[in-house]
Amino acid sequence: MRRLGASRRSAIPAFEVMRITDRIAHRRAEGHDVVSLCAGEPSARPAPGTLKLAGYTGPLGTAPLREAIAGHYRSWYGVEVEPGRVAVTTGSSGAFQLAFLTAFDAGDRVALASPGYPAYRNILTALGVQVVEIPTGGDTRYQPTPALLDAAVAEHGELAGLVIASPANPTGTMLGRSELTALVEWCRARGVRLVSDEIYHGITFPAPDDPDPRGTSAAELDSEAIVINSFSKYWGMTGWRLGWALLPQGLVAPFEALASNFALSPPAPAQELALTAFTPESYAERDAVVEGFARARALILEAEPALDWGDAAPSDGAFYYYSELGPQLERYGSATAYAAALLERADVAIVPGVDFDPSTSSGQAAGDRAVRLSYAAGEAAVAEALDRILRFQG
Ligand SMILES: Cc1ncc(COP(=O)(O)O)c(C=O)c1O
Protein backbone atom coordinates (compact mmCIF):
# COMPACT_ATOMS: atom_id res chain seq x y z
CA MET A 1 0.00 0.00 0.00
CA ARG A 2 1.23 3.53 -0.76
CA ARG A 3 2.20 5.77 2.15
CA LEU A 4 -0.06 8.81 2.56
CA GLY A 5 2.91 11.23 2.58
CA ALA A 6 3.87 14.36 0.71
CA SER A 7 5.25 13.94 -2.80
CA ARG A 8 9.03 13.85 -3.30
CA ARG A 9 8.74 16.85 -5.62
CA SER A 10 7.32 18.98 -2.78
CA ALA A 11 10.51 18.55 -0.68
CA ILE A 12 11.87 22.03 -1.39
CA PRO A 13 12.98 24.72 1.08
CA ALA A 14 10.53 27.33 2.32
CA PHE A 15 11.27 31.00 1.58
CA GLU A 16 13.39 32.37 4.47
CA VAL A 17 12.24 35.97 3.83
CA MET A 18 8.66 34.99 4.54
CA ARG A 19 9.70 33.31 7.81
CA ILE A 20 11.52 36.48 8.89
CA THR A 21 8.34 38.38 8.01
CA ASP A 22 6.60 36.20 10.58
CA ARG A 23 9.22 36.97 13.23
CA ILE A 24 8.84 40.71 12.51
CA ALA A 25 5.08 40.42 13.03
CA HIS A 26 5.68 38.67 16.37
CA ARG A 27 8.08 41.32 17.61
CA ARG A 28 5.74 44.12 16.49
CA ALA A 29 2.89 42.38 18.33
CA GLU A 30 5.11 42.44 21.44
CA GLY A 31 5.42 46.20 21.06
CA HIS A 32 8.84 46.44 19.37
CA ASP A 33 9.32 49.21 16.81
CA VAL A 34 10.90 47.05 14.08
CA VAL A 35 12.36 48.67 10.95
CA SER A 36 12.19 46.13 8.15
CA LEU A 37 14.58 46.18 5.21
CA CYS A 38 13.34 42.76 4.44
CA ALA A 39 10.41 42.72 2.06
CA GLY A 40 10.77 43.23 -1.67
CA GLU A 41 7.70 45.40 -2.04
CA PRO A 42 7.27 49.15 -2.40
CA SER A 43 5.38 50.75 0.49
CA ALA A 44 3.81 53.36 -1.86
CA ARG A 45 0.72 51.74 -3.35
CA PRO A 46 -1.51 53.00 -6.15
CA ALA A 47 -4.89 54.38 -5.12
CA PRO A 48 -7.56 51.77 -5.86
CA GLY A 49 -9.83 52.53 -8.81
CA THR A 50 -13.51 51.70 -9.13
CA LEU A 51 -13.89 47.99 -9.59
CA LYS A 52 -16.76 46.22 -11.30
CA LEU A 53 -17.97 42.84 -10.13
CA ALA A 54 -16.08 40.37 -12.19
CA GLY A 55 -16.25 36.76 -13.31
CA TYR A 56 -13.70 34.53 -15.00
CA THR A 57 -11.86 36.00 -17.97
CA GLY A 58 -10.10 34.13 -20.76
CA PRO A 59 -7.25 31.92 -19.50
CA LEU A 60 -4.64 34.30 -20.91
CA GLY A 61 -6.38 37.45 -19.65
CA THR A 62 -8.70 40.12 -21.05
CA ALA A 63 -8.11 41.43 -24.56
CA PRO A 64 -7.82 45.09 -23.42
CA LEU A 65 -5.14 44.22 -20.88
CA ARG A 66 -3.19 42.05 -23.33
CA GLU A 67 -3.30 44.94 -25.82
CA ALA A 68 -2.24 47.43 -23.15
CA ILE A 69 0.74 45.24 -22.21
CA ALA A 70 1.74 45.01 -25.90
CA GLY A 71 1.49 48.84 -25.97
CA HIS A 72 3.86 49.00 -23.00
CA TYR A 73 6.52 47.18 -25.08
CA ARG A 74 5.99 49.70 -27.87
CA SER A 75 6.36 52.70 -25.56
CA TRP A 76 9.27 51.49 -23.38
CA TYR A 77 11.29 49.40 -25.84
CA GLY A 78 10.07 50.44 -29.30
CA VAL A 79 9.18 46.84 -30.10
CA GLU A 80 5.96 45.61 -31.75
CA VAL A 81 4.46 42.69 -29.86
CA GLU A 82 1.43 40.73 -31.05
CA PRO A 83 -1.11 40.92 -28.15
CA GLY A 84 -1.90 37.25 -28.78
CA ARG A 85 1.58 36.41 -27.46
CA VAL A 86 0.84 38.08 -24.09
CA ALA A 87 -0.40 35.76 -21.34
CA VAL A 88 -1.65 37.47 -18.17
CA THR A 89 -0.91 35.36 -15.07
CA THR A 90 -1.29 35.30 -11.28
CA GLY A 91 1.83 37.31 -10.57
CA SER A 92 5.06 36.55 -12.33
CA SER A 93 5.16 33.57 -9.96
CA GLY A 94 2.22 32.08 -11.87
CA ALA A 95 3.98 32.88 -15.13
CA PHE A 96 7.10 31.00 -14.02
CA GLN A 97 5.16 27.88 -13.07
CA LEU A 98 3.32 27.80 -16.39
CA ALA A 99 6.35 28.80 -18.47
CA PHE A 100 8.55 26.11 -16.93
CA LEU A 101 5.81 23.51 -17.42
CA THR A 102 5.32 24.64 -21.01
CA ALA A 103 8.98 24.76 -22.01
CA PHE A 104 10.67 21.98 -20.04
CA ASP A 105 10.17 18.29 -19.35
CA ALA A 106 11.09 16.44 -16.16
CA GLY A 107 14.77 15.53 -16.40
CA ASP A 108 15.69 18.52 -18.59
CA ARG A 109 18.61 20.66 -17.43
CA VAL A 110 18.01 24.39 -16.85
CA ALA A 111 20.75 26.81 -15.80
CA LEU A 112 20.47 29.84 -13.56
CA ALA A 113 22.83 32.21 -11.78
CA SER A 114 23.78 31.81 -8.17
CA PRO A 115 23.15 33.91 -6.10
CA GLY A 116 19.66 34.20 -7.52
CA TYR A 117 15.96 34.35 -6.74
CA PRO A 118 15.23 31.08 -4.93
CA ALA A 119 11.80 30.38 -6.43
CA TYR A 120 13.28 29.64 -9.90
CA ARG A 121 15.37 26.86 -8.43
CA ASN A 122 12.61 25.57 -6.18
CA ILE A 123 9.82 25.57 -8.78
CA LEU A 124 12.08 23.84 -11.32
CA THR A 125 13.08 21.26 -8.70
CA ALA A 126 9.46 20.61 -7.76
CA LEU A 127 8.74 20.02 -11.46
CA GLY A 128 11.50 17.43 -11.72
CA VAL A 129 13.75 19.69 -13.80
CA GLN A 130 17.47 19.44 -13.06
CA VAL A 131 18.83 22.81 -11.95
CA VAL A 132 22.34 23.73 -13.05
CA GLU A 133 23.69 26.50 -10.81
CA ILE A 134 26.12 28.92 -12.44
CA PRO A 135 28.27 30.37 -9.67
CA THR A 136 28.78 34.07 -10.35
CA GLY A 137 30.71 36.88 -8.70
CA GLY A 138 31.64 40.51 -9.02
CA ASP A 139 33.80 39.87 -12.10
CA THR A 140 30.64 39.28 -14.22
CA ARG A 141 28.32 41.52 -12.18
CA TYR A 142 26.85 38.32 -10.70
CA GLN A 143 25.39 37.48 -14.11
CA PRO A 144 25.97 34.44 -16.34
CA THR A 145 28.17 34.80 -19.44
CA PRO A 146 28.69 32.58 -22.51
CA ALA A 147 32.03 31.41 -21.01
CA LEU A 148 30.34 30.40 -17.74
CA LEU A 149 27.60 28.62 -19.72
CA ASP A 150 30.18 26.73 -21.81
CA ALA A 151 31.81 25.59 -18.58
CA ALA A 152 28.43 24.48 -17.18
CA VAL A 153 27.66 22.47 -20.34
CA ALA A 154 31.11 20.84 -20.20
CA GLU A 155 30.49 19.82 -16.61
CA HIS A 156 26.79 18.88 -16.66
CA GLY A 157 25.80 18.28 -20.31
CA GLU A 158 23.48 20.08 -22.76
CA LEU A 159 20.97 22.56 -21.37
CA ALA A 160 17.28 22.89 -22.25
CA GLY A 161 16.95 26.34 -20.74
CA LEU A 162 18.54 29.36 -19.13
CA VAL A 163 16.77 31.63 -16.63
CA ILE A 164 18.17 35.14 -16.26
CA ALA A 165 17.06 38.20 -14.30
CA SER A 166 18.02 41.83 -14.93
CA PRO A 167 17.88 43.69 -12.60
CA ALA A 168 18.41 40.62 -10.45
CA ASN A 169 17.28 39.65 -6.99
CA PRO A 170 19.20 39.63 -4.59
CA THR A 171 22.06 41.55 -6.23
CA GLY A 172 20.28 44.29 -8.18
CA THR A 173 22.79 43.87 -11.02
CA MET A 174 21.81 44.26 -14.67
CA LEU A 175 22.80 42.86 -18.05
CA GLY A 176 23.69 45.59 -20.53
CA ARG A 177 22.47 45.32 -24.13
CA SER A 178 25.68 43.69 -25.37
CA GLU A 179 25.83 41.18 -22.48
CA LEU A 180 22.17 40.26 -23.00
CA THR A 181 22.71 39.95 -26.76
CA ALA A 182 25.64 37.58 -26.17
CA LEU A 183 23.44 35.36 -23.98
CA VAL A 184 20.56 35.46 -26.50
CA GLU A 185 22.96 34.40 -29.29
CA TRP A 186 24.49 31.66 -27.16
CA CYS A 187 21.02 30.25 -26.46
CA ARG A 188 19.81 30.59 -30.05
CA ALA A 189 22.87 28.78 -31.46
CA ARG A 190 22.24 25.80 -29.16
CA GLY A 191 18.44 25.59 -29.12
CA VAL A 192 18.38 26.62 -25.43
CA ARG A 193 15.14 28.30 -24.31
CA LEU A 194 15.88 31.66 -22.68
CA VAL A 195 13.56 32.77 -19.86
CA SER A 196 14.13 36.43 -19.02
CA ASP A 197 12.75 37.78 -15.71
CA GLU A 198 12.26 41.52 -16.24
CA ILE A 199 10.11 42.15 -13.17
CA TYR A 200 12.39 44.97 -11.94
CA HIS A 201 12.49 46.87 -15.22
CA GLY A 202 11.81 50.55 -14.60
CA ILE A 203 13.38 50.38 -11.13
CA THR A 204 16.78 51.32 -12.49
CA PHE A 205 19.36 53.98 -11.71
CA PRO A 206 20.87 54.64 -15.14
CA ALA A 207 23.58 57.08 -16.11
CA PRO A 208 22.09 60.13 -17.94
CA ASP A 209 23.38 58.86 -21.33
CA ASP A 210 22.15 55.24 -20.91
CA PRO A 211 20.35 54.30 -24.18
CA ASP A 212 18.17 51.73 -22.32
CA PRO A 213 17.24 53.54 -19.10
CA ARG A 214 14.40 51.09 -18.25
CA GLY A 215 16.56 48.01 -18.95
CA THR A 216 16.99 46.06 -22.21
CA SER A 217 14.19 43.57 -22.86
CA ALA A 218 14.89 40.15 -24.36
CA ALA A 219 11.72 40.89 -26.38
CA GLU A 220 13.78 43.35 -28.43
CA LEU A 221 16.32 40.67 -29.34
CA ASP A 222 14.59 37.32 -29.74
CA SER A 223 10.97 36.31 -30.34
CA GLU A 224 11.85 32.78 -29.10
CA ALA A 225 12.65 34.06 -25.59
CA ILE A 226 10.02 33.83 -22.86
CA VAL A 227 9.86 37.25 -21.23
CA ILE A 228 8.31 37.51 -17.78
CA ASN A 229 7.15 40.61 -15.97
CA SER A 230 4.70 41.69 -13.28
CA PHE A 231 2.69 44.52 -11.79
CA SER A 232 4.28 43.80 -8.39
CA LYS A 233 7.45 45.86 -8.39
CA TYR A 234 7.51 48.98 -10.61
CA TRP A 235 3.76 49.40 -10.08
CA GLY A 236 3.83 48.20 -6.45
CA MET A 237 0.73 46.02 -6.91
CA THR A 238 2.08 42.97 -5.07
CA GLY A 239 -1.21 41.86 -3.54
CA TRP A 240 -3.19 42.03 -6.78
CA ARG A 241 -1.31 38.93 -7.96
CA LEU A 242 -0.94 39.94 -11.55
CA GLY A 243 1.94 39.40 -13.94
CA TRP A 244 2.47 38.31 -17.50
CA ALA A 245 4.53 36.22 -19.87
CA LEU A 246 5.40 37.25 -23.40
CA LEU A 247 5.50 33.94 -25.22
CA PRO A 248 7.07 32.68 -28.44
CA GLN A 249 4.21 32.01 -30.89
CA GLY A 250 4.81 28.26 -30.75
CA LEU A 251 4.27 28.13 -26.97
CA VAL A 252 1.00 30.12 -26.81
CA ALA A 253 -1.37 27.15 -27.30
CA PRO A 254 0.36 24.77 -24.83
CA PHE A 255 0.69 27.58 -22.26
CA GLU A 256 -3.00 28.37 -22.68
CA ALA A 257 -3.93 24.70 -22.23
CA LEU A 258 -2.00 24.58 -18.95
CA ALA A 259 -3.28 27.98 -17.75
CA SER A 260 -6.90 27.04 -18.38
CA ASN A 261 -6.47 23.93 -16.21
CA PHE A 262 -4.28 25.32 -13.45
CA ALA A 263 -5.79 28.75 -12.71
CA LEU A 264 -8.79 28.89 -15.10
CA SER A 265 -8.18 32.62 -15.50
CA PRO A 266 -6.09 35.36 -13.95
CA PRO A 267 -7.98 37.47 -11.35
CA ALA A 268 -10.54 39.65 -13.11
CA PRO A 269 -10.73 42.66 -10.71
CA ALA A 270 -6.96 42.94 -10.76
CA GLN A 271 -6.97 42.92 -14.56
CA GLU A 272 -9.53 45.71 -14.59
CA LEU A 273 -7.41 47.83 -12.25
CA ALA A 274 -4.19 47.04 -14.10
CA LEU A 275 -5.50 48.77 -17.21
CA THR A 276 -4.87 52.06 -15.43
CA ALA A 277 -1.18 51.16 -14.99
CA PHE A 278 -0.24 52.24 -18.50
CA THR A 279 -1.45 55.85 -18.41
CA PRO A 280 1.02 58.77 -18.48
CA GLU A 281 -0.15 59.71 -14.95
CA SER A 282 0.61 56.23 -13.66
CA TYR A 283 4.10 56.16 -15.20
CA ALA A 284 4.80 59.60 -13.71
CA GLU A 285 3.60 58.51 -10.28
CA ARG A 286 5.68 55.33 -10.36
CA ASP A 287 8.78 57.16 -11.62
CA ALA A 288 8.47 59.44 -8.60
CA VAL A 289 8.44 56.34 -6.39
CA VAL A 290 11.61 55.13 -8.14
CA GLU A 291 13.22 58.51 -7.37
CA GLY A 292 12.50 57.78 -3.71
CA PHE A 293 14.22 54.40 -4.06
CA ALA A 294 17.19 56.21 -5.61
CA ARG A 295 17.46 58.46 -2.55
CA ALA A 296 17.25 55.47 -0.20
CA ARG A 297 19.91 53.67 -2.28
CA ALA A 298 22.19 56.72 -2.07
CA LEU A 299 21.97 56.63 1.74
CA ILE A 300 23.22 53.04 1.77
CA LEU A 301 26.04 53.77 -0.68
CA GLU A 302 27.10 56.78 1.42
CA ALA A 303 27.12 54.59 4.53
CA GLU A 304 29.35 51.90 2.94
CA PRO A 305 32.62 53.09 4.55
CA ALA A 306 31.02 53.32 8.00
CA LEU A 307 29.34 49.90 7.66
CA ASP A 308 32.72 48.39 6.85
CA TRP A 309 31.24 45.25 5.30
CA GLY A 310 32.91 43.35 2.45
CA ASP A 311 32.41 43.39 -1.33
CA ALA A 312 28.99 44.53 -2.48
CA ALA A 313 27.25 43.86 -5.80
CA PRO A 314 26.83 46.96 -8.00
CA SER A 315 23.24 47.98 -7.26
CA ASP A 316 22.19 48.84 -10.83
CA GLY A 317 18.48 48.39 -10.24
CA ALA A 318 15.64 46.78 -8.27
CA PHE A 319 15.72 47.89 -4.64
CA TYR A 320 18.34 45.55 -3.29
CA TYR A 321 21.80 45.95 -1.87
CA TYR A 322 23.74 42.68 -1.55
CA SER A 323 26.98 42.66 0.36
CA GLU A 324 29.49 40.34 1.92
CA LEU A 325 29.68 40.95 5.68
CA GLY A 326 33.46 41.30 6.00
CA PRO A 327 34.59 41.84 9.61
CA GLN A 328 31.05 41.28 10.92
CA LEU A 329 31.22 37.74 9.55
CA GLU A 330 34.29 37.05 11.65
CA ARG A 331 32.41 38.35 14.68
CA TYR A 332 29.14 36.43 14.16
CA GLY A 333 30.23 33.39 12.13
CA SER A 334 27.37 33.59 9.62
CA ALA A 335 25.03 36.07 7.99
CA THR A 336 22.13 34.18 9.58
CA ALA A 337 23.57 34.76 13.06
CA TYR A 338 24.34 38.42 12.27
CA ALA A 339 20.81 39.06 10.94
CA ALA A 340 19.19 37.30 13.91
CA ALA A 341 21.27 39.35 16.41
CA LEU A 342 20.46 42.56 14.54
CA LEU A 343 16.73 41.83 14.76
CA GLU A 344 16.80 40.74 18.40
CA ARG A 345 19.07 43.54 19.68
CA ALA A 346 18.45 46.48 17.33
CA ASP A 347 15.04 45.74 15.79
CA VAL A 348 16.30 45.92 12.22
CA ALA A 349 15.27 43.14 9.86
CA ILE A 350 17.52 42.21 6.95
CA VAL A 351 17.84 38.98 5.01
CA PRO A 352 20.83 36.62 5.15
CA GLY A 353 21.87 35.41 1.70
CA VAL A 354 21.33 31.67 2.33
CA ASP A 355 18.08 31.52 0.34
CA PHE A 356 19.79 33.05 -2.67
CA ASP A 357 23.02 31.03 -2.67
CA PRO A 358 22.87 27.75 -0.75
CA SER A 359 25.94 26.29 -2.56
CA THR A 360 28.44 25.24 0.09
CA SER A 361 32.16 25.66 0.34
CA SER A 362 34.12 24.65 3.47
CA GLY A 363 30.90 23.71 5.22
CA GLN A 364 29.17 27.09 4.89
CA ALA A 365 26.56 28.18 2.35
CA ALA A 366 28.13 30.87 0.14
CA GLY A 367 25.08 33.04 0.76
CA ASP A 368 25.58 32.81 4.50
CA ARG A 369 28.48 35.21 4.18
CA ALA A 370 26.29 37.96 2.67
CA VAL A 371 23.18 39.96 3.47
CA ARG A 372 20.49 41.59 1.36
CA LEU A 373 19.01 44.95 2.30
CA SER A 374 15.80 45.95 0.57
CA TYR A 375 15.46 49.71 0.34
CA ALA A 376 11.89 49.40 -0.93
CA ALA A 377 10.84 50.57 2.53
CA GLY A 378 11.94 54.11 1.56
CA GLU A 379 14.34 56.81 2.65
CA ALA A 380 13.20 57.36 6.24
CA ALA A 381 13.19 53.65 7.11
CA VAL A 382 16.61 53.17 5.53
CA ALA A 383 18.06 56.16 7.39
CA GLU A 384 16.72 54.86 10.71
CA ALA A 385 17.91 51.30 9.97
CA LEU A 386 21.42 52.47 9.05
CA ASP A 387 21.61 54.45 12.28
CA ARG A 388 20.61 51.42 14.30
CA ILE A 389 22.99 49.10 12.40
CA LEU A 390 25.93 51.42 13.03
CA ARG A 391 25.08 51.67 16.74
CA PHE A 392 24.64 47.88 16.88
CA GLN A 393 28.05 47.28 15.31
CA GLY A 394 29.51 49.80 17.76
C1 LIG B 1 13.26 38.34 -9.30
C2 LIG B 1 11.83 38.10 -8.92
N3 LIG B 1 11.04 37.47 -9.79
C4 LIG B 1 9.75 37.22 -9.48
C5 LIG B 1 9.20 37.59 -8.27
C6 LIG B 1 7.75 37.25 -7.99
O7 LIG B 1 6.90 38.34 -7.93
P8 LIG B 1 5.32 38.32 -8.27
O9 LIG B 1 4.87 36.89 -8.24
O10 LIG B 1 4.70 39.15 -7.22
O11 LIG B 1 5.18 38.90 -9.65
C12 LIG B 1 9.99 38.26 -7.32
C13 LIG B 1 9.44 38.68 -6.00
O14 LIG B 1 10.12 39.12 -5.12
C15 LIG B 1 11.34 38.51 -7.66
O16 LIG B 1 12.17 39.14 -6.81
CA distances from 377 to 29, 37, 67, 227, 381 (A): 19, 6, 32, 27, 6
Query: pLDDT 10s per residue in the chain (394 long)?
Result: 767 766 676 566 666 776 787 688 878 889 999 998 887 767 766 666 654 556 788 899 999 999 999 999 999 999 999 999 999 999 999 999 999 999 999 999 999 999 999 999 999 999 999 999 999 999 999 999 999 999 999 999 999 999 999 999 999 999 999 999 999 999 999 999 999 999 999 999 999 899 999 999 999 999 999 999 999 999 999 999 999 999 999 999 999 989 988 888 899 889 999 999 999 999 999 999 999 999 999 999 999 999 999 999 999 999 999 999 999 999 999 999 999 999 999 999 999 999 999 888 778 888 999 999 999 999 999 999 999 999 999 8
Give this prediction's pTM. Answer: 0.92
Q: Exposed, middle or buried by CB within 10 Å (0-12, 13-18, 19+), for 45?
A: middle
Q: What is the per-residue pLDDT across 291-333, written as a single tens digit (0 to 9) for each?
A: 999 999 999 999 999 999 999 999 999 999 999 999 999 999 9
Cβ of 97 less than 6 Å from ligand 1: no
CATH architecture classification, 8-44+282-393 = Alpha-Beta Complex (3.90)
Cβ of 355 less than 6 Å from ligand 1: no
Cβ of 238 less than 6 Å from ligand 1: yes
Q: Which stretch of DSSP H or E encloses residue 112? A: strand 109-114
- Start-end ranges of CATH 3.90.1150.10 in the chain? 8-44+282-393
Please compute, for residue 206, the number of CA atoms within 13 A of its CA located in the half-sphere on the CB side.
18
Cβ of 199 less than 6 Å from ligand 1: yes
Q: How far is the CA of 99 from the centre of ligand 1 (A)?
A: 14
Cβ of 93 less than 6 Å from ligand 1: yes
- Start-end ranges of CATH 3.40.640.10 in the chain? 63-277
Q: What is the per-residue pLDDT across 27-48, written as a single tens digit (0 to 9) for each?
A: 888 999 999 888 776 776 666 6
Give CA–CA dist 167/153, Å, rounded. Answer: 25
> Which residues have CB under 8 Å from 273's CB, separation 6+?
46, 48, 49, 51, 237, 240
Nearest CA to ligand 1 atom 1: 169
**322, 370 in Cβ contact below 8 A?**
yes
Give CA–CA dist 219/79, Å, rounded. Answer: 7
**Which pLDDT belongs to residue 12?**
63
CATH topology of domain 63-277: Aspartate Aminotransferase; domain 2 (3.40.640)
> Mean pLDDT, the chain, as a whole number?
92
Q: What is the per-residue pLDDT across 325-346, written as a single tens digit (0 to 9) for each?
A: 999 999 999 999 999 999 999 9
